[in-house]
Amino acid sequence: MENVYLIMVIVLFFLAISDLIVGVSNDAVNFLNSAIGSKAAPFKVIMTIAALGILVGATFSSGMMEVARKGIFHPEHFFFSEIMIIFLAVMITDVILLDMFNTFGLPTSTTVSIVFELLGAAVGISIIKVSNLPEGSDLSMGELINSGNALLIIAGILLSVVVAFSAGAIIQYISRLIFSFDYKKNLKRFGAIWGGIAISAITYFILIKGAKGASFMDVETITLIKENTWLILGISFFSWTILLQVLSWLVKLNILKMIVLVGTFALAMAFAGNDLVNFIGVPLAGYESFKNFLANPEADPNLLSMAVLAGKVKTPTFFLLIAGLIMVITLWFSKKSRNVVKTTLDLSRQDEGSERFGSSFLSRSLVRSSINFSKIFKFIVPKSIKSFVAKQFDQSVLKKEQSDKDAPSFDLIRASVTLVVASMLIAFGTSLKLPLSTTYVTFMVAMGTSLSDKAWGRESAVYRITGVLSVIGGWFFTAFSAFTLAFIMALLFYWGGIYAIGSLVIIALFIVIHSYTIHKKREKTSNEVSNDIGDEVNGENILFKCSNTVTKTLNTVNNILINTISGLSREDLKLLRNSSKDIKNLNKKVKYMKDTINKTIIGLQEDSIETGHYYVQVLDYLREIAHDVTFITIPVFKHIDNNHKGLIPSQLEELNNIISEISKFFKIIERTIAENNYSNVDRNIELQHKVLSTLDVYRKNQIKRIKREEVGTKNSMLYFNIINEIKNLLLHTINLLKAQRDFVKYNSSENNND
């Protein structure tokens, strides 16, 4: 029996390592997005500072470990065997959930997941425990579950969302009124004071408030710090202010970059201090339980009380440092963490462009209400105040900087406010032993500062708000799924024993490996999209990039058409499904190019009006071609997927002939564009007319088949749709060729004039 529980403890620690890896991948956004988004320093410098913050913060986490032992349930009422089932159910659920969210790039809350997993697993075992009690026993669910503390934790998490958003919005608004977007002039006057306030605030909330949980702090040191709070705070403010001012004079130190880097360290430290419990708190509690079991060798694991967990246990610094080291390694090498960071940066960036999320009724209603409210507000506010605010929020300087392809997503003022406010709130919550969600706090602070900075303009507000609502909706889904899955797993472990545990560990491992494969595919698709014509385009390389993109697109279209008709002929659902995925990826790529068209045109020479005009035409026709193929491929896939009758031999013969002609047509056009020789455009047009005439003949043939009742309604609808979309495809392709020819012509003439 002892060996079984030893294996369970070992599994817990392996799951802890997995949880650390997937947890950091999820939570890296919390402390990286401001520094990366503002480009305060080279990427390696930012990562090094964040890594140091994690290592230091890990040692501040000891006090938070009590949450995993007694924060959600009363351990003294549970037996050793029951506690181990609860902990295993929690850890397996946590690894699966966090990994799935990371795969799809959505920042979820490790705190919410661990709280609801503990609650779900404990409720599951409690139901069994209460139902098996002998008659006359007065033990109830209320005595097993620490419902008061659980509700306090949940309320603290939800309240932190409102407080974080409000605090971020208000402080950012005040900061922008002080500094404006053209902040360099005012930074010379107030920069040192601003830095002194910011870094002193970080010192207060991280050192003074966080010291209570540090594993290496003794009672005397903590008492000394608490008794001299204001003295330390005052010395910190004056010391930092003087030091920053002197450094700005002597070495031209950028004070805002200093604040952002110190804030990154502080937030990484606060993250480790607050969230480490989410990853290793449960395994350490399991380890303490196992040690108690070993200390009572004669005890029955089904009767051994776990009252030992209700006491205060100091977590060894060694364990915390090992956990911190694993987190640091993950931070450096996890690609999923950068995927999650990208989501927050997309929703908070200052400029417009491709939006990850669509619009929704709620987001449209909120934007419409905000516009109406702002009209009323403008009517009430005096003209002088409106003029001052408009001047401070004038973004003309920022827009000039953002024309550069290496421009940051937002400026250093916003980055510094986001970091300082978030680190203060998280550290304060940690000092109160509230496991606040660092994801909720930092995300909502970032969204609040974005709102105040007018990053959500009329062009992007509905999409950004939809994105924020989607992320928040994901948080509620996290809570529900964490509770439900942990509840079910606890029941399965109780009834299935070691066999159920072994099976679910294997399933969890399979899910993690499978999600890694999904992430690799999504990352490959994303790279193909972003590496195309949308990025790094200027007057010198636009011709090459545009020609290359057009030929690649036509080649892709040709392959998709061939596979679609082949899949239709053989009723090959797998081939048609792959074709559907291919056309969806092509649509994403072309849409991305359209969404970034402003940046591309701005990057052209100032007098490149005609070049820009034909470039827009090229993208328009690429978009239409992608749509044409979509309206062929998706209906064909649905037709076969719905098990409708396939086409008859004469129809398939006609379609194969058409596809053969189109394939030749595309290859000639691809060669024309690649060789930059447009002398044979007339030949392309003749070939187009020939195929169009053939389509007319085939359309008449289909009408004859209908009259002879050889085909049904679904068959006719599909066939006519294919013929019609092929006709549109041919027309748009010739128009694309002409637009590309004119684009090359005017681009060459403008370069010669230079």
**CATH no. for residue 576?**
1.20.58.220
Q: Where is the domain boundary, 509, 526, 543? A: 526
Query: CB neighbours of 297 closer than 8 A, spacing ≥ 6?
Result: none
pLDDT at residue 254, as a whole number:
84
Residues 397 and 418 in one domain: yes
Residues 199 and 298 in one domain: yes
Q: Phi/psi at 105 (nearest 5 deg)?
A: 70, 25
pLDDT at residue 632, as a whole number:
93
- Residue 37: alpha-carbon gap to chain centroid: 14
Q: Give me the mean pLDDT over the 210-217 stretch.
A: 56
Condensed to tens digits (0 to 9), the pLDDT of residues 590-620 reads 887 777 666 666 555 554 555 667 777 888 8
Residues 144 and 269 in one domain: yes
Residues 502 and 561 in one domain: no
Residues 510 and 566 in one domain: no
pLDDT band at 576 (very low <50, low <70, confident <90, very high): very high
Residues forming beta bridges with residue 145, ordered by sequence position: 73
Q: In terms of pLDDT, which residue wins out, 155 or 749?
A: 155
Q: In terms of pLDDT, which residue wins out, 464 or 643?
A: 643
Number of independent structural domains in the chain? 2
**DSSP track, 529-578:** HHTSTTSS--TTTHHHHHHHHHHHHHHHHHHHHHHHHHHHHHT-HHHHHH
- Residue 151: alpha-carbon gap to chain centroid: 28
- Residue 7: alpha-carbon gap to chain centroid: 35
Which structure tokens are listed for 72? 């959600």
pLDDT at residue 535, as a whole number:
47
Residues 498 and 593 in one domain: no
Q: Give me the mean pLDDT over the 583-587 stretch.
A: 87
What is the sign, positive or negative, of the torsion defined by CA atoms of 665, 667, 673, 676?
negative
Could you give the CA distance from residue 192 to residue 236 in angstroms, rounded to a whole number? 13
Segments forming the whole domain that contains residue 350: 2-132+140-526
The HSE-up count of residue 591 (CA atoms within 13 Å, CB side) is 12
**Position 533 pLDDT exceeds 70:** no
pLDDT at residue 607, as a whole number:
47
Residues 17 and 59 in one domain: yes
Q: Where is the domain boundary, 486, 507, 526? A: 526
| Whole-number average pLDDT of the chain | 78
**DSSP track, 23-42:** HHHHHHHHHHHHHHHHT-S-
Residues 584 and 625 in one domain: yes
pLDDT band at 404 (very low <50, low <70, confident <90, very high): low
Q: Give me the mean pLDDT over the 334-342 stretch.
A: 61
Q: Give me the mean pLDDT over the 571-585 stretch.
A: 90
Could you give the CA distance from residue 84 to residue 5 in angstroms, rounded to a whole number? 8
pLDDT at residue 633, as a whole number:
93
Nearest Cα residue to 491 out of 500, 481, 502, 479? 500
Nearest Cα residue to 732 out of 594, 613, 627, 625? 625
Longest dimension (CA), the chain: 99
pLDDT at residue 345, as a whole number:
63
**DSSP track, 102-142:** HHTT----HHHHHHHHHHHHHHHHHHHHHHTSPTT----HH
**Position 373 pLDDT exceeds 70:** yes
Q: Among 254-263, 460-469, 490-499, whose mean pLDDT is lowest?
A: 460-469
Residues forming beta bridges with residue 79, ordered by sequence position: 305
Residues 520 and 546 in one domain: no
What is the pTM assigned to this prediction?
A: 0.67
Residues 588 and 441 in one domain: no
**Position 745 pLDDT exceeds 80:** no
DSSP label of 145: B
Residues 504 and 555 in one domain: no
636 contacts 568 by C-beta, under 8 angstroms: yes
Q: In terms of pLDDT, which residue wins out, 195 or 362?
A: 195
680 contacts 702 by C-beta, under 8 angstroms: no
Query: CB neighbours of 517 closer than 8 A, spacing ≥ 6?
Result: none
pLDDT band at 722 (very low <50, low <70, confident <90, very high): very high
**Position 400 pLDDT exceeds 80:** no
Provide the 3-class DSSP secondary structure of residue 491. Answer: helix
Residues forming beta bridges with residue 305, ordered by sequence position: 79
pLDDT at residue 281, as a whole number:
77
Q: Give me the mean pLDDT over the 384-408 stretch.
A: 70
Angle at 140 between CA 137 and CA 142, to 5 degrees: 155
pLDDT at residue 534, as a whole number:
45
pLDDT at residue 746, as a whole number:
67
Could you give the CA distance from residue 594 to residue 430 in angstroms, rounded to a whole number? 46
Q: Where is the domain boundary, 493, 526, 559? A: 526
Provide the 3-class DSSP secondary structure of residue 73. Answer: strand
What is the sign, positive or negative, of the torsion defined by CA atoms of 410, 415, 421, 422?
positive
Q: Among 160-164, 278-282, 420-424, 648-652, whose mean pLDDT is lowest?
A: 278-282
Condensed to tens digits (0 to 9), the pLDDT of residues 237-249 reads 899 899 888 888 8
Residues 467 and 599 in one domain: no
Give how far Cα 552 sits from Cα of 86, 338, 528, 556, 715, Å. Answer: 54, 28, 12, 6, 32
